[in-house]
Structures are given as structure tokens and as C-alpha cells.
Structure 1
Amino acid sequence: MNPKPSSIEEYFSWFSSDIQAKLKQIRQTLMEALPDAKEVISYHMPAFKTSEVLVYYAAAKNHLGYYPTNTGVEEFKKELAPYVTSKGAIQFPYDRELPLELISQIAQFRAEEAKFRAENKKKR
């Protein structure tokens, strides 16, 4: 298993400058989309969390992985058609521009979903 980074900055430092630029783009997009979320390292990846982890992202060999859970992928299935997806993951190739608006929309969807789930849990 890969080593666990102690910070987002340490995680970024493991990659080349061109990959770091993509990681910084997605990080900035998520910071703006999720102002109430906290940055954490979870499963050895950078992530944003409120009452639960909303999204993860990570650098892979040929793509940037974005992990908004299965509901985040399912909700935006049509918009994600140009990308390789699986149950809870999206692959953004390094040789293409990141779809920052779509990344933001998915993150905001996940934030609303987590808020709804947390409110329902309180009512029980």
C-alpha cells in the first residue's frame, strides 16, 4: 500500500509539476464549491469532508481520479459520458482540460446530499 501523506501539500509534492498543477486546479475548485468543508487525507488521498467525506481526488498514472461516491457519478451520468467512470469514480485524462464547472456541481450535489442525510439522522 502507498504511504499515507501527512498533508495535502506532501501528497502534491510526490508528483511532477504538470500533475501538481492539475491537483491544484481541482483543489481550488473544490475549496470554492465547498466553503464549509474541511480538507482531510482519507484513504491516502486528499478529500473534502463535512458530516461525511464528500469527494476524494487523486493522481494516477494517466489520469486524475475524482471520487464523488456512486451517487455523485449516477446523478451526473449524462454529463460524464465523455469520461471513463465506474461505480464511484471518474477518470479525467491529463491531456484534457479539467471540467471544473462539472467538478464543482458534483461536489455541491454531494454537499447537499450529506446535509440532507445529517438532518434526517438528527430527526431520528
Structure 2
Amino acid sequence: MRKIILEIEPDLKQVISYGIPAFKLDKDVVCGLAARKNGCSFYPFSGSVLEALRADLKDFSQTKSALHFDKPLSKTLVRKLMNQRQVQIMVKKKRK
């Protein structure tokens, strides 16, 4: 997953945020990952990202803030998740 994320956006910095490995662009966290006993989770650091991509995520277990999976996510899906988050970040910056 880390490799896919960095292929999609090579300028991301790897950090720890809220205790999990995460990826930042400038001052904003784009996404994070966590591995647990029962699978892995993708964190978009925004509850509305998963809601916006509801149709693409219908086969996955999720909470408001995390997408849970036990098999690798496709690069296409990771790109959609990251793009949605980056759009939110850009909109937020334009409002300031």
C-alpha cells in the first residue's frame, strides 16, 4: 500500500499521525494506514471521503473514518480515495 500511495503522489511525506503511519502533503494529512489482527485499514482523515465514494466502497466494511480490508486495495481505488481527499484539502485552502 505504501508503494502504491507514493507512486500516485511521490511528493507525500511519511509521518505518524494519531499513532498510525500517514502521508502528508504540505501541512495536511492525505491518508493513513493501519494493520490489525483482523485486517488492514485505510484512513482518509476525513469522514466525507468515504461517503463521497460510497458506490465504489459498497463491498468493503467501513466506519465513518476508516475503510477496512483484508486484501490489497486496487491502485485505481486508492487513487480515487486520495484524489477525493486532495480535492477537499484544496477547497479548504481556497476558503482561507
* Band the TM-score falls in, shorter-chain normalisation: 0.7 to 0.9
Q: Secondary structure at the match of 1:106?
A: helix
Q: Secondary structure at the match of 1:66?
A: strand
Please list every run of 5 or more consecutive structure 2 residues that lacks an aligned counterpart in the other structure. none
**What CA RMSD, in Å, does the superposition of the two structures yield over aligned residues?**
1.4
Higher strand share: 2
Normalised to the residue count of structure 2, the TM-score between the two structures is 0.87
Please list every run of 5 or more consecutive structure 1 residues that lacks an aligned counterpart in the other structure. 1-25
Q: Which structure's CA Rg is the greater one?
A: 1
Map 1:38-53 onto structure 2 (within 5 A): 38-50=13-25, 51-53=27-29
Normalised to the residue count of structure 1, the TM-score between the two structures is 0.69
Name the amino acid aligned to 2:63: S
Q: Which consecutive segments of 4 or more residues in structure 1 shift more than 4 A? A: none
Once the two structures are TM-superposed, the CA of residue 111 in structure 1 deviates from its matched residue by: 1.3
Asked whether the 8 Å contact 1:33–1:104 carries over to 2, the reply is: yes
- Identical aligned residues as a percent: 31
Deviations 1:36-89 (A, max 9, x none): 321111112111112311111110111111011212111111110100011011
